[in-house]
Amino acid sequence: MTQEFSYFAPGPAKIPEEVLRGLQEEILQYKDTHVSVLEVSHRSKDFGNIIESTEQLTRELLHVPANYRILFMQGGGTGQFAAVPLNLMPRTGKADYLVTGSWSAKAAKEAAKYGQVSEVVPRAGRYVGVPPPATWTLDPQASYVYYCANETVEGVELQSVPEVPAGVPLVCDMSSNFFTRPFDVSKFGVIYGGAQKNIGCAGVTMVIIREDLLGNPLPVCPSVLDYTVTAKNKSLYNTPPTFAIHVMGEVLAWVRQEGGVEEMERRCLEKSNMIYSIIDKSGGFYSAVVEPGSRSRVNVVFRVGGVAGDKQKEAAFLEEATKKGLLSLKGHRSVGGVRASLYNALTIKDTRRLADFMVSYQREHRA
Ligand SMILES: *Cc1c(COP(=O)(O)O)cnc(C)c1O
């Protein structure tokens, strides 16, 4: 019997197999062009169709209102940590950051180069949950309020869109839970996400921005991070990551075919509940770190051998999982433990294989 493999990587992450098979052919020849999809000019009609259809799929899947622009940028999520202040900070020179984990902390640090940054969520110790909104200190004069919808490293996810003072644009990093649930785009000023978690491969970052926020970047803003320049040039100011945009379009077509973001949400809940319920029923053999109300549906972080984890027991668990073909379950180096990333392409069947493994592993290793 050939061994099965399931890939739980946090990003770059699994891409649906059907999509990969299609790409395999297109790498040799794209449609009837006699050239590889890797070779298609960004100024050609073929690429025009690729970028146009990727935008249209996004508009359809997320019900993006007409007064929002969709941009394809480079520099990853990290590039956006700078792009956001470079484009929005001039409004008042200060911004509010909801720091709920490593990624929003990095974003706040980057933004502080360009303006006055306030961390508005009280923090006690490690990131294990989102303190209640009543404890936040939001400034009605802020240029924007920034948050990360899903903290990929810690497995902390906000389960609803935060309320912000009237007139203050809300900015969200959705890199790791983009297209995993429906949401109301009109509540946001800017939404962005790198492709390599849920919507493709590394190299492209999608930005959705309300039109009225364009036109006021800091004078030092580099052209490649400038939302206004990018929008004006339809994401073709310079050579865009053509292949990564194509992969994104193919993944979004797959999302639509599978039933859209509503179906992705249903699957995310089914998958993450399957793993959390094994953790919760394990009698302490496995321990979830994050508070129940903030548990991520896409990055399930847990410990083996007590709430603080036991390094040796975790290493043994990971080694055995790898032998069984359950790959890349190791937690982020900064927090340790185990992390199962259950993004859209990770199937219910993959998740069940992990669930079955966790149950049998516990049975064999109970003290
Ligand atoms: C992965 C990730 C990033 C960083 O993305 P890069 O493409 O590596 O810059 C930022 N924010 C979140 C939430 C992420 O998951």
Shared domain check, 275 and 202: no
Distant-in-sequence, close-in-space partners of 65: CB < 8 Å, separation ≥ 6: 185, 186
Indicate if ligand 1 lies below 6 Å from the C-beta of 84: no
Shared domain check, 190 and 173: yes
Q: For a pLDDT cut of 70, what percent of the chain falls above it?
A: 99
What CATH number is given to the structural domain containing 341?
3.90.1150.10
Last residue of a domain, one of 224, 258, 292: 258
Shared domain check, 279 and 191: no
Which domain range does residue 234 map to? 17-258
Indicate if ligand 1 lies below 6 Å from the C-beta of 102: no
Last residue of a domain, one of 258, 292, 312: 258
Residue to mutate (ligand 1; options 152, 153, 339; most atoms within 8 A of CB): 152
Shared domain check, 295 and 204: no
pLDDT value, residue 124: 73
Residue with tokens 């040799």: 28
146-163 in b/e burial notation, b at 16+ Cβ within 10 A?
Answer: bbbbbbbbbbbbbeeebe
* Domain membership flag for residue 224: yes
226 is catalytic: no
* Domain membership flag for residue 248: yes
pLDDT value, residue 71: 98
* Domain membership flag for residue 12: no
Could you report the per-residue pLDDT of 166-206, keeping only the tens digit for each? 999 999 999 999 999 999 999 999 999 999 999 999 999 99
173 is catalytic: yes
Shared domain check, 200 and 53: yes
Indicate if ligand 1 lies below 6 Å from the C-beta of 175: yes
* Domain membership flag for residue 3: no
Shared domain check, 276 and 343: yes
Indicate if ligand 1 lies below 6 Å from the C-beta of 152: yes
What is this structure's pTM? 0.98
Shared domain check, 280 and 228: no
Ligand 1 geometric centre to CA of 281 (Å) = 32
* Domain membership flag for residue 7: no
Say whether pLDDT at 4 is over 70.
yes
Indicate if ligand 1 lies below 6 Å from the C-beta of 12: no
Choose the catalytic residue: 197, 226, 254, 350: 197
Shared domain check, 208 and 322: no
Could you report the per-residue pLDDT of 54-83, keeping only the tens digit for each? 999 999 999 999 999 999 999 999 999 999
Shared domain check, 28 and 87: yes
Distance CA 79, CA 81 (A): 5
Say whether pLDDT at 157 is over 80.
yes
Shared domain check, 304 and 239: no
Tell whether omega for the bond before 12 is within 30 degrees of 0, i.e. cis.
yes
Shared domain check, 286 and 197: no
Say whether pLDDT at 123 is over 90.
no
Shared domain check, 212 and 303: no
pLDDT value, residue 75: 98
106 is catalytic: no
Last residue of a domain, one of 198, 226, 258: 258
Could you report the per-residue pLDDT of 31-47, keeping only the tens digit for each? 999 999 999 999 999 99
* Domain membership flag for residue 51: yes
Binned at pLDDT 50, 70 and 90, residue 1 comes out as: low
How many domains, the chain? Answer: 2
What is the gyration radius of the CA atoms in the chain, in angstroms?
21
